């Protein structure tokens, strides 16, 4: 077991003020794999003030100078990639071979990509008699989740640092080990003191300081919609900029002219990634009512290939959920669905036969569009199949939740799929299984949040506009 006893504040490891610690569990064995200190409001404020003191110096560096630091961090991540992947697989439950690619490979690429974006960005532009310049917004408080912990940290602090902001990070208390490793890498990269700070702790303590402190100019939060509303409410009192990446209930709409075998297989995969612990997971599969039985057979064949097992076993395609609470929550949703009359296509509420670990069987349920499981974000390996009578009803069902994060449309032609996709109110939508684009904007409509992450779109979230009105030159 690894014991962490310090926070990272003002360029150094500072011993925690409180003796209270937060346990981190291995999701496959339930053993405590590490402990981190429970930060106090005072420590969070120290970190904020350190970030404020460092802002003028960091923001006055050239984009090239800041980009060099980001490249060093990317190199440090590459050097410790296996250690990082192992930690995340144990914390979160994603099988190790996938963690290497998704949980670590992706974030490492983003660090280097933001260095490139900072170098090539158009920082100022002449508009008539004005010089419009882009400047960093200031001190940014970053509150991140546990499901893709390093990725969500990276998509906040890498663009913020590249833009010239200074940051205070509160990582998830459920999966903080990766953040501690990243802080070590950042320290080795030699950033000026106070540019990056990390305080572990609970949302109602550390997170609320970041949301309310007058010296924090922006809060970037990823997590549940309920918690996001709280962050937005608190931040509004000091009129901070708020970026929220929240929940989803994404629909995969399979049109009658689609390749059903490819569409069902693709939808099952898009739902089950990271054991369904993905905000953009395609958790609703909308199918023509007349082809429901065909879809059931195809779905059963697709789900059978998802072998469940501990995250460090090479044969595992689906690992455990992150915690006992998450497992119990997901099982509760499955029981609710069955109680409401769901057709159990695969899986169910009986846990797999493992003595330890937070496992849930990959489950597919046939339901109605008005059922609880058609509206609530489950955040586990649960796919619901909803029949529709025609294309109009399919679009209506897809738009019938409070969320609008992601989704997909499957058709015999991209043109038909895109025509339907334009009617679906969601921030990202896959056309016939189109792959994820790490430079495209990621974020949602409605209660899935506001703001965008990734690529230049995520970079610009951390910038302000300034217009300098110049005296026109006499003709």
Q: Which pair of tokens denotes residue 228? A: 């996001």
Q: Which pair of tokens denotes residue 352? A: 């797999």
pLDDT interval class at 351 (50, 70, 90): confident
Task: Report the distance separating Cα 284 and Cα 398, nearest Å.
Answer: 8
CB 272 within 8 A of CB 283: no
Active centre residues (catalytic):
245, 279
Q: What is the pTM of this model?
A: 0.97
Residues 66 and 169 occupy one common structural domain = yes
Q: Is the pLDDT score of 224 beyond 80?
A: yes
Q: Is the pLDDT score of 16 beyond 70?
A: yes
Task: Report the distance separating Cα 323 and Cα 359, nearest Å.
Answer: 9
Nearest to 326 by CA among 403, 386, 274, 249: 274
Q: Is the pLDDT score of 27 beyond 70?
A: yes
Task: Report the distance separating Cα 321 and Cα 91, nearest Å.
Answer: 9
Task: Report the distance separating Cα 363 and Cα 303, nearest Å.
Answer: 8
With respect to residue 202, please indicate whether it lies within any of the assigned structural domains: yes
Q: What is the mean pLDDT of residues 58-72?
A: 98
Residues 424 and 458 occupy one common structural domain = no
Residue 252, SS3?
strand
Instruction: Give the chain's domain count.
Output: 2
Residues 292 and 357 occupy one common structural domain = yes
With respect to residue 444, please indicate whether it lies within any of the assigned structural domains: no
CB 76 within 8 A of CB 190: no
Residues 157 and 201 occupy one common structural domain = yes
With respect to residue 225, please indicate whether it lies within any of the assigned structural domains: yes
Cα angle 174, 318, 339 (rounded to 5 degrees) comes to 85
Nearest to 206 by CA among 38, 53, 54, 50: 38
Task: Find the domain containing 210 and state its range.
Answer: 2-246+449-467
pLDDT interval class at 79 (50, 70, 90): very high
Residues 228 and 274 occupy one common structural domain = no
Task: Report the distance separating Cα 465 and Cα 381, nearest Å.
Answer: 43
Residues 124 and 186 occupy one common structural domain = yes
Q: How far is the CA of 415 from the CAs of 260, 333, 404, 429, in angstroms?
A: 17, 36, 22, 14
Q: Is the pLDDT score of 92 beyond 80?
A: yes
What is the torsional sign of CA 44, 200, 187, 167? negative
Task: Report the distance separating Cα 413 and Cα 431, nearest Å.
Answer: 9
pLDDT interval class at 473 (50, 70, 90): confident
CB 198 within 8 A of CB 183: yes
Residues 88 and 189 occupy one common structural domain = yes
8-state DSSP, 104: I
With respect to residue 92, please indicate whether it lies within any of the assigned structural domains: yes
% the chain with pLDDT above 90? 99
Residue 33, SS3?
strand
Centroid of chain to Cα 148: 6
Q: What is the mean pLDDT of residues 384-401?
A: 98
pLDDT interval class at 32 (50, 70, 90): very high
Mean pLDDT, rounded, of the chain: 97
Question: Residue 104 has what pLDDT?
Answer: 98
For tokens 């586990």, the residue is 380
How many CB atoms neighbour CB 332 within 10 A?
A: 12
For tokens 């071979």, the residue is 97
With respect to residue 297, please indicate whether it lies within any of the assigned structural domains: yes
Q: What is the mean pLDDT of residues 387-408?
A: 98
CATH number for the domain that contains residue 66: 3.40.605.10
Residues 180 and 106 occupy one common structural domain = yes
Nearest to 48 by CA among 235, 242, 195: 195
Residues 238 and 354 occupy one common structural domain = no
CB 386 within 8 A of CB 285: yes
Q: What is the mean pLDDT of residues 409-428?
A: 98
| The pairing of beta strand 282-288 with beta strand 343-346 | unpaired
Residues 98 and 8 occupy one common structural domain = yes
Residues 197 and 300 occupy one common structural domain = no
Question: Residue 436 has what pLDDT?
Answer: 95
CATH number for the domain that contains residue 369: 3.40.309.10
With respect to residue 89, please indicate whether it lies within any of the assigned structural domains: yes
Q: How far is the CA of 95 from the CAs of 82, 275, 297, in angstroms?
A: 13, 10, 27
With respect to residue 475, please indicate whether it lies within any of the assigned structural domains: no
Could you read off the pLDDT of 238-281 as tens digits, one per residue? 999 999 999 999 999 999 999 999 999 999 999 999 999 999 99
Residues 213 and 149 occupy one common structural domain = yes
| The pairing of beta strand 449-450 with beta strand 363-366 | unpaired
Mark residue 403 as left, alpha or beta (left: phi above 0; alpha: psi -120 to 50; beta: remaining): beta
With respect to residue 263, please indicate whether it lies within any of the assigned structural domains: yes
Question: Residue 145 has what pLDDT?
Answer: 98
56: Cβ contacts below 8 Å, ≥ 6 apart: none
Question: Residue 144 has what pLDDT?
Answer: 98
Task: Report the distance separating Cα 338 and Cα 348, nearest Å.
Answer: 8
For tokens 């006499």, the residue is 474
Q: Is the pLDDT score of 474 beyond 80?
A: no
Question: Residue 475 has what pLDDT?
Answer: 66
């Amino acid at each position: 077991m690894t014991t962490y006893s310090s926070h990272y504040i003002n360029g150094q490891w500072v011993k925690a003020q409180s003796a209270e610690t937060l346990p981190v569990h291995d999701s496959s064995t339930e053993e405590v794999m590490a402990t981190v200190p429970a930060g106090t409001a005072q420590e969070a404020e120290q970190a904020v003030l350190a970030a404020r003191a460092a802002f003028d110096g960091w923001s006055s560096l050239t984009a090239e100078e800041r980009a060099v630091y980001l490249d060093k961090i990317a190199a440090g991540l590459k050097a410790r990639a296996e250690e990082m992947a192992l930690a995340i697989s144990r914390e979160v439950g994603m099988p190790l071979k996938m963690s290497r690619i998704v949980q670590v490979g992706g974030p490492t690429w983003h660090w280097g990509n933001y260095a490139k974006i900072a170098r090539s960005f158009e920082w100022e532009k002449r508009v008539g008699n004005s010089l419009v310049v882009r400047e960093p917004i200031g001190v940014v408080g970053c509150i991140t989740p546990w499901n893709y912990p390093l990725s969500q940290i990276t998509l906040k602090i890498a663009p913020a640092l590249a833009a010239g902001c200074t940051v205070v990070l509160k990582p998830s208390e459920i999966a903080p080990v990766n953040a501690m490793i990243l802080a070590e890498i950042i320290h080795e990269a030699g950033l000026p003191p106070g540019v990056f700070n990390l305080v572990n702790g609970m949302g109602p303590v550390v997170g609320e300081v970041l949301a309310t402190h007058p010296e924090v100019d922006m809060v970037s939060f990823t997590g549940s919609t309920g918690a996001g509303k709280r962050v937005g409410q608190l931040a509004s009192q000091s009129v901070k900029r708020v970026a929220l990446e929240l929940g989803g209930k994404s629909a995969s709409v399979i049109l009658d002219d689609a390749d059903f075998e490819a569409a069902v297989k693709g939808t099952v995969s898009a739902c089950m990634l990271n054991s369904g612990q993905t905000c953009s997971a395609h958790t609703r599969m909308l199918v023509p009512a007349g082809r429901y039985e065909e879809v059931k057979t195809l779905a059963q064949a697709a789900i059978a290939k998802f072998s469940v097992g501990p995250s460090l076993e090479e044969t595992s395609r689906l690992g455990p959920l992150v915690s006992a609470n998450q497992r119990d929550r997901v099982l509760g949703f499955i029981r609710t669905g069955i109680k409401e009359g769901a057709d159990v296509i695969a899986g169910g509420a009986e846990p797999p036969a493992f003595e330890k670990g937070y496992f849930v069987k990959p489950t597919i349920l046939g339901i109605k569009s008005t059922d609880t499981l058609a509206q609530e974000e489950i955040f586990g390996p649960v796919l619901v199949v909803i029949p529709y009578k025609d294309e109009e009803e399919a679009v209506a069902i897809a738009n019938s939740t409070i969320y609008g994060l992601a989704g997909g449309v499957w058709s015999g032609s991209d043109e038909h799929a895109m025509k339907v996709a334009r009617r679906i109110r969601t921030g990202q939508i896959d056309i016939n299984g189109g792959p994820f684009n790490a430079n495209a904007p990621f974020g949602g409509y409605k209660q899935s949040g506001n703001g965008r992450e990734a690529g230049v779109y995520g970079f610009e979230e951390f910038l302000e506009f300034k217009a300098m009105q110049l005296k026109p030159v006499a003709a």
